[in-house]
Structures are given as structure tokens and as C-alpha cells.
Amino acid sequence: MTIETNSGKDCAHAWEIMPWVLQATAPHEQGEWLMHHLAQCESCSAEFAQQSRLRSALSLAPDIAVDADAGLKRLMERLDMPEPKTLPARAWPRNRLAGALAVAVLVEAIGIGVLGARLWSDHTAQYRTLSQPALFEPAGAIRVVPATSMTLSEWNRLLHNLDLRVTDGPNAVGAYTVVPEGSPAQAAQLIPELRASHGIRLAEPIDDRP
């Protein structure tokens, strides 16, 4: 919408600044310029008179009677009420529901985390090759490859005699990881015995690998 005024640009500027001059928030020079313009422009002068009247009307006391004392009394009573009673009745169920949902989400997140960790762990073990060190290889671990001709009873007897326990294997090439039941330091003594045992093709300390 275009504002057409008698003196064009000046009238548009006068229109723009009128509210702020009426508020007395416009710079002093603007106010002086407007008064000078109004003295020369009947149209803007009339517009300014209307806006002054509007301002006067808007500064009248409210036409709807609202009792301040009664309102203040009710507000003070409201402040004095115990906190829970001042809250909307349905606020607690909402909060409880939100709390229960938060706990459920937390439990679910923990569950997913635990399952994820387990899956990750299984996944890692599944793809470990013989050339890779075991992630959680116990101290004193020995890699042993029994001959295919060795029977299960011979294998069990050997483990029992040397006090060894199988912790992993067999892998793709038939290697087992065994550890001494006693101190890990016994591994150094047990390796020559394993190598000398019938049916053992390889016995190497895992810790000593480069």
C-alpha cells in the first residue's frame, strides 16, 4: 500500500516518525522538523491531530472495571497455598508418566549397551586368527597343537598330568590355548615337557611371540 501525500517524500517521513514524536522518544531534531512540516502541511497536521487524539483515548483508564484489591487478595491467597495444591491436578500424573518413561528408556539403553558389548566381544573372538594375539590371553598361556592321531583320552591325561587347562581352541588348524592351573611362571618349565610328550606337534609360549 502506498501512502500518497501532498508533499511526497516529506509527508512519508512525517508519517513514519509521528508515533515516536508523540511518545517523545524521537530525537529532538526530528520533533522540530515534524512541527515545522506540520505548520506547512494541512494533511499531515490533520493526521497528527488524529494520532494525538488516539493517544489520548488510549491513555484513559480501562473502561472495564477490574477490582485491584480483590484480585490482589486472591493472588496473595494463591501464594500462601501449599505448593502441591497450586499445581494443576494433572501435573503429577504427567510427571510420573514422564519419569516412568525415562526409567524405561534408561533400562532399555543399558540393556542394548550390554548386548552390544557382548556381541562385539563374540564378534572379535570369532574372527581372531592364529597369527593374531588373543585379546584376553591369560598370563603363561601356551599354544599347543596335538597330532590328529592323539585320542581324547590321551589329550585329557596329558593335561591332567601337567596340570594344564584349556582356555581356547581348537582353532582352524587344531591349535589349543592352555594355561597352567598354578602359577603362570610354570609355563616355561611345562613347554619342554609338552614338546617331549607323545602326540604333541607344537608347543609355543604365546607371550614370547614377537
The residue within the footprint of other proteins, chosen from 9, 29, 63, 123 (CB under 8 A), is 63
Interface residue with other proteins, options 35, 39, 49, 104 (CB under 8 A): 49
Contact 142, 178 (CB under 8 A): yes
Q: Does 19 bind other proteins (CB under 8 A)?
A: yes
- Smallest distance from other proteins to CB 92, Å: 18
Q: Determine if 24 is a binding residue for other proteins (CB under 8 A).
A: yes
Q: What are 198's three cell numbers?
A: 607323545
Instruction: Give the residue among 163, 164, 153 at the shortest CA–CA distance from 198.
Output: 153
Among 8, 27, 35, 55, binds other proteins (CB under 8 A): 55
Residue in 3, 87, 115, 130 binding other proteins, rule: CB under 8 A: 3
Residue from the set 70, 89, 135, 196 that interacts with other proteins by CB under 8 A: 70
Kindly tell me which residue out of 28, 62, 129, 152 binds other proteins, with binding defined by CB under 8 A. 62
Taking CB under 8 A as the rule, does residue 79 contact other proteins?
yes
Long-range pairs, 161-165, Cβ under 8 A, ≥24: 162/190, 162/193, 162/194, 162/197, 164/190
Burial 168-182 (b: 16+ CB within 10 A, else e): bbeeeeebbbbbbee
- Asked if 78 is part of the footprint of other proteins (rule: CB under 8 A), the reply reads yes
Member of 46, 107, 110, 173 binding other proteins (CB under 8 A): 46
Q: Is 135 in the site for other proteins (CB under 8 A)?
A: no
Query: What is the distance between the alpha carbons of residues 21 and 105, in angstroms, rounded to a whole number?
Result: 59
Cross-strand pairs, 168: 177
Q: Which is nearer to other proteins, 69 or 183 (CB)?
A: 69
Nearest to 38 by CA among 67, 13, 58, 62: 13
Q: Return d(Cα 39, Cα 149) in angstroms, integer.
A: 121
Interface residues with other proteins (CB under 8 A) are 1-6, 15, 19-20, 22-25, 42-43, 45-47, 49-51, 53-68, 70-72, 74-76, 78-79
